[in-house]
């Protein structure tokens, strides 16, 4: 409970108690729904990811439109979480809704391609540069498929990732370095998988460590985001991509770039914007406007090496077609129809310009408040995405995040924001714009951030 007196300023814990009490008070229907949900779901909600909201429990959504969500207690939120990127097209975008309704009435999943897929394939190649694509039902599955292919064509067992990464439910990537040890991300629980057999993990931006890790000749692929977005934002150092590409080529290691989040950079992601040359590229989440979907693309060379091992099937010879990548519903007609709508009408160059302008507006206003108040914090922006971090400088690696992160301030900010009608992704302080985000939405954030600063300045931080 708050124990503030004139001589004893409130602690962050006191302030969090206060915000959580205010949250409970404001959300009686969501509180009751959560109690009921806990009776039937392993972690309260239909997905364990839904339990992380700092108010103490999630609000239950009644409806969502554009950049706004309304909860069952009648509160409106400016949504900068956008479903942790799955909603980057905005909620209920008109073009996606139209395409989905049409396809729902024409059949959703038939194990047959539709003509829409031709336009999707053509556009993916035009945007991202890679010639051949495969759909999955999630970015996780796209990463799994890409890893499988890398192992098939190299005959090597290991996957190299950078400490602090997240690539979905991919076993090989659930590793980090902490206190010199390699273990599960956040060391949160034990795991039956022998990570020393399937994973290598080094710090991001560390060329010497990368060189050493790939010198053993047992790494099938490097799986990385172009810059890291899942442990706060870790910008990429000058020259790192050139070194990564050179070392992976020299050691015969497949380079997989995961653009699931960094597609916020622009229509062709960070890869197109900065001329990267991955062997494979993965994306997902927003790519079909909120209908589950993942994609991965491969280079001509990777495709040819794969076809030597698993050729195109000749149906006359009942040859085994088993490849086991992606699920039964991958590339279904509904996903394809909505993906086409996204590529042609929603995540367009014009909309990216709007989204990036709003992210810049948010980042610059936040920087202004940080500088005026002399706070040891910073803001990083990747196109339509921005992140406020409670550290004086951008981290260079996962180790820097572990050393400098202020989890208590993050939690307080999240709880305060919920009470003030702002949603940010619950895992860190990341803001994403959709085409419907307005400058007024951004200015509402600026005003709430400013009051958050007033709140913590009066506390013993
Ligand atoms: N790659 C990256 C970079 C991600 O951030 C995530 C999810 N946060 C994934 C892959 C996995 O996406 P999904 O959970 O939709 O499979």
Cα 5 to middle of ligand 1, angstroms: 45
Q: What are phi and psi of 172, to 5 degrees?
A: -60, -25
Same domain, 294 and 331: yes
Does residue 2 lie in a domain region? no
Same domain, 248 and 107: yes
Q: Report which ligand 1 atom has the smallest distance to the Cα of 85.
A: 8
Same domain, 312 and 199: yes
Same domain, 288 and 336: yes
Same domain, 139 and 255: yes
Testing ligand 1's pocket by substitution, the residue of 83, 261, 295 carrying the most ligand atoms inside 8 A of its CB is 261
Q: Is 230 in the pocket of ligand 1 (CB under 6 A)?
A: yes
Testing ligand 1's pocket by substitution, the residue of 138, 143, 159, 168 carrying the most ligand atoms inside 8 A of its CB is 168
Q: What average pLDDT does the structure give for the chain? A: 95
List CB contacts of 12: < 8 A, sequence separation 6 or more.
Answer: 408, 409, 412, 456, 459, 460, 461
Q: What is the mean pLDDT of residues 7-15?
A: 88
Closest CA to 286 of 422, 435, 428: 435
Closest CA to 61 of 92, 85, 38, 39: 92
Cα 258 to middle of ligand 1, angstroms: 9
Testing ligand 1's pocket by substitution, the residue of 85, 137, 172, 260 carrying the most ligand atoms inside 8 A of its CB is 260
Does residue 282 lie in a domain region? yes
Q: What is the mean pLDDT of residues 67-96?
A: 98
pLDDT at 193: 85
CA atoms in the 13 A half-sphere facing the CB of 393: 5
Q: What is the mean pLDDT of residues 128-140?
A: 98
Same domain, 381 and 433: yes
Q: What is the mean pLDDT of residues 60-82?
A: 98
Is the separation of the CB atoms in 461 and 452 below 8 Å?
no
Does residue 3 lie in a domain region? no
Cα 246 to middle of ligand 1, angstroms: 26
Cα 168 to middle of ligand 1, angstroms: 4
Number of helices and strands in the chain (H, E): 15, 16
Cα 39 to middle of ligand 1, angstroms: 28
Q: Report which ligand 1 atom has the smallest distance to the Cα of 139.
A: 16
Q: Report which ligand 1 atom has the smallest distance to the Cα of 84.
A: 8
Both structure tokens of 302: 């990777």
Q: Is 425 in the pocket of ligand 1 (CB under 6 A)?
A: no
Which residues on adjacent β-strands are paired with residue 136? Answer: 294
Give the ipTM of the model, two decimals please: 0.99
Does residue 276 lie in a domain region? yes
Confidence of residue 228 (pLDDT cuts 50, 70, 90): very high
Does residue 6 lie in a domain region? no
Q: Is 136 in the pocket of ligand 1 (CB under 6 A)?
A: no
Q: What are phi and psi of 56, to 5 degrees?
A: 120, -25
Same domain, 379 and 276: no
Q: What is the mean pLDDT of residues 122-127?
A: 98
pLDDT at 2: 46
Residue 3 has pLDDT above 60, yes or no: no
Q: Is 167 in the pocket of ligand 1 (CB under 6 A)?
A: yes
Q: What is the mean pLDDT of residues 177-187?
A: 82
Does residue 259 lie in a domain region? yes
pLDDT at 442: 98
Q: Is 259 in the pocket of ligand 1 (CB under 6 A)?
A: no
Cα 167 to middle of ligand 1, angstroms: 5
Same domain, 110 and 190: yes
Both structure tokens of 52: 């992380």
Cα 85 to middle of ligand 1, angstroms: 9
Across 169-183, b (16+ Cβ under 10 Å) vs e yields: ebebbbbbbbeeeeb
Confidence of residue 8 (pLDDT cuts 50, 70, 90): confident
Cα 90 to middle of ligand 1, angstroms: 18
Domain final residue pick, 297, 318, 346: 346
Q: Which residue is closest in CA terms to ligand 1's atom 10?
A: 167
Both structure tokens of 51: 């339990």
Q: What is the mean pLDDT of residues 14-24?
A: 97
Query: Could you give the percent of the chain with pLDDT greater than 70?
Result: 97
Domain final residue pick, 323, 346, 369: 346
Report the CATH number that the domain containing residue 27 is assigned in CATH. Answer: 3.90.1150.10
Same domain, 222 and 117: yes
Is the separation of the CB atoms in 406 and 393 below 8 Å?
no
Q: Is 285 in the pocket of ligand 1 (CB under 6 A)?
A: yes
pLDDT at 191: 81
193-197, 227-231, 405-409, range with the lowest pLDDT: 193-197
Q: Mind listing the pLDDT tens digit for each residue in 447-459?
A: 999 999 999 998 8
Same domain, 29 and 56: yes
State whether residue 90 is helix, strand or coil.
coil
Confidence of residue 321 (pLDDT cuts 50, 70, 90): low
Q: Mind listing the pLDDT tens digit for each residue in 195-225?
A: 889 999 999 999 999 999 999 999 999 999 9
Same domain, 313 and 369: no
Show the CA angle centred on residue 349, arms to residues 344 and 352, nearest 5°.
Answer: 110
Does residue 43 lie in a domain region? yes
Q: Which domain range does residue 403 map to?
A: 12-88+350-457
Q: Is 426 in the pocket of ligand 1 (CB under 6 A)?
A: no
Cα 374 to middle of ligand 1, angstroms: 35
Q: Mind listing the pLDDT tens digit for each residue in 269-318?
A: 999 999 999 999 999 999 999 999 999 999 999 999 999 999 887 777 77
Same domain, 316 and 282: yes
Cα 433 to middle of ligand 1, angstroms: 18
Report the CATH number that the domain containing residue 334 is assigned in CATH. Answer: 3.40.640.10
* Domains of the chain: total: 2
Domain final residue pick, 299, 324, 346: 346
Cα 253 to middle of ligand 1, angstroms: 22
Q: Report which ligand 1 atom has the smallest distance to the Cα of 142.
A: 16
Q: Is 261 in the pocket of ligand 1 (CB under 6 A)?
A: yes
Does residue 151 lie in a domain region? yes
Which residues on adjacent β-strands are paired with residue 69? Answer: 64, 77
Q: Which residue is closest in CA terms to ligand 1's atom 7?
A: 168
């Amino acid at each position: 409970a708050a124990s503030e007196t004139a001589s004893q300023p409130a602690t962050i814990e006191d302030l969090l108690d206060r915000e959580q009490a205010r949250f409970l008070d404001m959300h009686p229907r969501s509180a009751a729904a959560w109690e009921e949900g806990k009776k039937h779901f392993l972690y309260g909600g239909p997905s364990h990811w839904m339990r992380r909201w700092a108010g103490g429990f999630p609000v239950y959504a009644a409806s969502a439109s554009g950049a706004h969500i309304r909860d069952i207690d009648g509160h409106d939120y400016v949504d900068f979480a956008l479903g942790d990127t799955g909603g980057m097209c905005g909620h209920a975008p008109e073009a996606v809704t139209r395409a989905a309704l049409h396809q729902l009435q024409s059949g959703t999943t038939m194990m047959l391609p539709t003509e829409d897929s031709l336009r999707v394939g053509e556009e993916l190649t035009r945007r991202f540069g890679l010639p051949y694509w495969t759909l999955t039902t999630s970015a996780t599955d796209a990463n799994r498929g890409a890893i499988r292919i890398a192992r098939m064509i190299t005959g090597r067992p290991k996957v190299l990732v950078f400490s602090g990464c997240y690539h979905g439910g991919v076993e090989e990537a659930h590793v980090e370095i902490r206190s010199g040890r390699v273990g599960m991300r956040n060391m949160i629980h034990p795991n039956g998988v022998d990570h020393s057999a399937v994973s290598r993990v080094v710090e991001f931006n560390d060329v010497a460590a990368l060189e050493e890790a790939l010198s053993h000749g047992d790494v099938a692929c490097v799986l990385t985001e172009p810059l890291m977005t899942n442990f706060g934002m870790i910008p990429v150092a000058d020259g790192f991509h050139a070194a990564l590409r050179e070392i992976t080529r020299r050691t015969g290691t497949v380079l997989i770039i995961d653009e699931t989040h960094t597609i916020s950079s622009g229509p062709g992601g960070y890869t197109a914007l900065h001329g990267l040359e991955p062997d494979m590229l993965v994306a997902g989440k927003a790519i079909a406007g909120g209908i589950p979907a993942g994609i991965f693309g491969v280079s001509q060379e990777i495709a040819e090496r794969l076809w030597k091992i698993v050729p195109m099937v000749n149906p006359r010879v009942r040859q085994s077609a088993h490849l086991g990548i992606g699920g039964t519903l991958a590339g279904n007609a509904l996903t394809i129809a909505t993906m086409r709508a996204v590529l042609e009408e929603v995540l367009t160059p014009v909309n990216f310009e709007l989204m990036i302008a709003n992210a810049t507006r948010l980042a610059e206003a936040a920087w202004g408040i940080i500088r005026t108040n002399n706070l040891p914090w910073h803001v990083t922006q990747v196109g339509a995405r921005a992140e406020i971090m409670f550290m004086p400088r951008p981290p260079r690696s996962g180790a820097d995040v572990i050393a400098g992160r202020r989890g208590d301030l993050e939690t307080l900010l999240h709880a305060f924001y919920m009470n003030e009608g702002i949603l940010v992704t619950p895992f860190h302080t990341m803001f994403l714009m959709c085409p419907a985000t307005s400058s007024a939405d951004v200015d509402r954030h600026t005003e709430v951030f400013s009051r958050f600063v007033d709140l913590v300045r009066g506390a013993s931080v």
